[in-house]
Structures are given as structure tokens and as C-alpha cells.
A = this chain, B = another copy of it.
């Protein structure tokens, strides 16, 4: 397994020099998030991830989870690491102090999440799902529900899950069959079977609090008839075992140390959370956060893969440089001298650092949306979040998967061997474009719901930022050509959107036909903007080597990756006809 080292230099650069987290925290009144606190989280968090989580990553993959008559056992060391994590206070970093959390901004929670996900994606699922459940209860629970569950969840004594999917429905939650029957005592009897429940059953915590989507007897059809219920494994008051049991765990391509459970609810006692029939809305309020977290998986697996690949490329001796031996004293040159190996490494580097910048940019918006006292500023942040979230989820996981595949390829045959750990990163990353809403669904959400649904307003909220940036930096001594290139693309983006919107008014299939390419096209432009911000900020640094690396990677991005927008644009412009003309039965003969 590539040894993980938290990329603190790059993280600090973004926090201090690109996005000025400290100034932003001060402006928002988040005074607890002092520079010292940020440093402590970075340094101590890095140690925990490097020394405790990373060493369990490959063994966790090899061992997987065990299932025996409803009991799930996580791989060796996972339970102990969770105890250490909870004891270190990491679990409550961004949680509400009223329930024992440290109340730090979400952006700091995400900085920590990157390190956790990079060192051990599977392990990170357990606290990750718990944070999801905590958000839902915090946003929609009664005071009593909050008091009952949040302290235990924040303390890590209990963990949580999100139970949405059923065998016959994933994307289409309107089809769920799980039913909740009202009981005389005000509770509900929940009956049904849920699948793909991450952390649905395990041995890390004393209790598991399930948040379950189900339908009331009189519920309207479809998504408007879904309600959300709290269904604890053990009841908070009596400690009694509830009628929810794990039927099996899935055997998967990757994230094998994350228990993916079938959960059977047999009249389990549950409690309505939020309004009846508004369950999906309750889910949506925390979707931004969860989808950004899933998008980060592309960054996390990509970063781990890059760290393995760069070390290997500097160590592995194979062939001579085409321009003459670079290490004549050795049997061959290190493979990093070869342009095609560099192409792969720079692609990895450009996506990882670009995706990290996108994560931090978005995390800062989360802070504003949560903490600002100015309603206008909050709304602006919410709008940008609505726009960026599907892009973060899909673009970062698509490119993250590409990155992990490059990392494997750099290793040649050794990349295919489990021992080296590079192929695990590909397998672990492969779920990210699928879960938490497939990337195809993200693309529909972006183009249909967000961009066209707002008559372009949400897009303009972002292109305006880019426009201002380009105007400000049009005369930049080193980067003006790239600024001009970004400015042209930024205009083209609006034009392309208008043309899709016009076509979609006549034919709704145009949205679906364009969506995925439109999302990727958008992602490349957003990363171009962020790469320029990084390159410019780096030039102002004293560290010449670091500044040169940022500049070189920015140039690589503009010359070798950004041209992909041309292909995505052509695909968008191709329209729906060439997708829809063939009858479904005529695809195969």
C-alpha cells in the first residue's frame, strides 16, 4: 500500500493563500476556528490518519467484513480505531456544542474528511454515515429527538445510517414499499426491506440509529408520499432490541471493509421525524453535504493513488530517456523521465489539486450558508451550492476514477497485483460515480433542475464570479493568455446553455441527452478558474519551487485537459436525435 502522508503543504496553501479561511471565519464570527485550531486539526488529524487509519486500509480490504446470523464484524483494528477517533474528539469537530460537539465550521470537518478518506475510504464510511444521520436529526428532529439521539451520536457511542434504497428502487424512490403503520402510542410500526445500507450493522458502537424512508398508509403516490422515521436498533429508553435485523452483507468490487447491509424491518418501532410525507425534503436538506462528501472520494482515492505513483515513478528504473540518459550511473532512468509517464502523473496532479480547490471553495460556501448573519449572503451561498454540488459529486468522482486508473497504469503489471495497493484504489473509487445519486442523475439535477429550472440564474451566479476574475486578471504578466482562454469559455458556457435550453423547450429529451456532457464541460471550466486562482496565488509566495509547480501544472491543465471541453461541447450540440432514434428492442440482435 502506498504510505499516506497528508498533503499539508497544499492544504495550507489553499487555506491561507487562496481562500483565506481565517479571514472568512472572522467575518462569519466563527472565532473558535482560530489559526491555531486549524493547525492543530491539520497536524494532529494527519497523524491519526497516517498512523492509525492508513495501516488498516489494505488489511481491511483483504479481510472484509464478516457476517454470521445477523451479526456483522468489521476487519481487525477497525473498532479500536473508531474508539481512538472518538476519544480524540474528531467525531464532533463540526457538531453542535449543545450536544457535545466542538462547533467548528463545516469546512474544517471537510479538511479532516479528506485525510480520513485518503487514508482509509472504507473506515471513513462509518463516521460519515453517522454525520449524515446527525444532520438530519439536527435539522428536522424535535427537541426531544435531538436530546435523545444527538449527544450519543456526537460522542460516537452510537452510530447512524440512512435507509433509502430497496431492491426494486434506487433512483426512483417514489416506488418504495416500506410501510409505517401508526400505533396507539404515537410511534410507527415499520415494515420492509432496505438494501445497500452502509454501516447498517457492525460492531463499532453500542447502538445504531437508522433513518428510514417509508410510506404512511394514506400517503399520496410517488415521492410526495414518503416520510422519514427514526428506527433505533436498541430503544433509547428501554434498551430493548428493536425488530430490525441485518439479513446479509453484500460482496462488492471494493470498499470491502464497509459493511453494505440488507436490513429487514419487521414491524420495527419507529418515530416520525419532520413532517409526514415530507421525508424526501428532509433528505434533500443534507444532500449538499453528503454529495460533496461523495465527490471528495474521487479526490481522496486520487490523492492516495498519486502518492503511490509519484514514488514509484521516481524509484522504478526502466529504459532511457529519449533525449539521453538522465541517470547514467544506474542501469536505466527512473520512469518519471518519460513524457508519457509524466502525462499520467500531471493529469493526476492537476485533477487532485484542482478537485481539492473545488472542495475548499464549496466548503467555504457551506460555512457561509450556515453561519452568515446576512440573509442575502446566505441565499447567494445557497444558490452557488445548489449549482456546484452535482458538479462536485459527479466531476470529482469521474476524474478521481481516471486518476486512480492512471496511478495503476504507472505501475505497469505491478499495478494489477493486490499487494501494491494501487488497484484497491480503483476498486474503492469505482462506487463513487454510482452511489449518493448516480452521476447521470447529478447531471440531470444540474442541467434540468438547477440551471434550466432557474432560467439560468444559478449558472449566472457562477459565471459572474469568473467574469469578474477574468476582468481583474486580464493583464496578468504570466497568465493573461490563459485568463483570456477562460473568459472565452465562460462566455461560450452561457451560449451553450441557452442553445440547450431552447432545444429543451421543444423536446424534454434534449436535457437528458446533453446532461452528462454538460456537467463535465462545466466541471472543466470551473477547474480552469480554480487553477488560475491557485497559479496566481502561488506566484505571490516566497517558495519558488512550489510556485513553479503550481504554474507548470496550471499550464498543463490548460493545454492538455481543458481542451476536453471541445469534445463535451460537440456532444451537447449533437442533440438527442442520435440517442433516441433506435427502438429499445433493436439494440442487440
Contact = CB atoms under 8 A, between A and B. Distances in A.
Interface of A: 7, 9-10, 165, 168-172, 175, 195-196, 250-254, 306-307, 310, 313-314, 317-319, 321-323, 331-332, 334, 336-346, 349, 401, 405, 408-409, 412-413, 415-419, 423, 426-427, 430-431, 433-435, 438-440, 443-444, 507-509, 511-513, 515-516, 545-546, 548-549, 552-553, 555-556, 559-560, 563-564, 566-567, 570-571, 574, 576, 578-582, 584-589
Given A426-B430, A567-B564, A587-B345, A171 B10 contact: no
**Nearest 8 Cβ contacts at the A-B interface:** A339-B512, A563-B570, A322-B508, A253-B423, A559-B574, A9-B589, A339-B513, A340-B440
A587 to B, nearest CB: 5
A444 to B, nearest CB: 7
Contacts of A416: 252-254, 430-431, 434-435
Contacts of A413: 165, 170, 195-196, 434-435
Contacts of A430: 405, 408, 416, 423, 426
Contact of A417 (B9, B252, B332): B252
Nearest to A401: B405
A331 B552 contact: no
Contact of A588 (B306, B511, B589): B306
A578 B566 contact: no
A345 B417 CA distance: 30
Contacts of A566: 563, 566-567, 570
A564 B340 CA distance: 19
Given A170-B318, A412-B434, A336 B584 contact: yes
Nearest to A320: B172
B172 A332 contact: yes
B549 A338 contact: no
Contacts of A401: 405
Contacts of A196: 413
B418 A251 contact: yes
Contacts of A175: 317-318, 331-332
Contacts of A306: 588
B578 A318 contact: no
The quantity of this chain's copies bound in the complex is: 2
B508 A343 contact: no
Given A165-B413, A170-B318, A571-B560, A251 B587 contact: no
A581 to B, nearest CB: 5
A172 B319 contact: yes
B513 A549 contact: no
B409 A589 contact: no
A578 B549 contact: no
A434 B426 CA distance: 15
B570 A340 contact: no
A337 B511 CA distance: 13
A42 to B, nearest CB: 14
Contacts of A251: 417-419
A513 B343 contact: yes
Nearest to A175: B331
Contact of A580 (B342, B563, B576): B342
A346 B323 CA distance: 43
Given A175-B331, A307-B588, A579 B253 contact: no
A348 to B, nearest CB: 9
A574 B409 CA distance: 22
B587 A417 contact: no
A10 to B, nearest CB: 7
14 contacts: A170-B318, A175-B317, A253-B416, A306-B588, A310-B587, A322-B512, A336-B584, A338-B512, A340-B444, A345-B587, A416-B435, A548-B582, A548-B586, A563-B574
A542 to B, nearest CB: 14
A556 B574 CA distance: 9
A346 B574 CA distance: 14
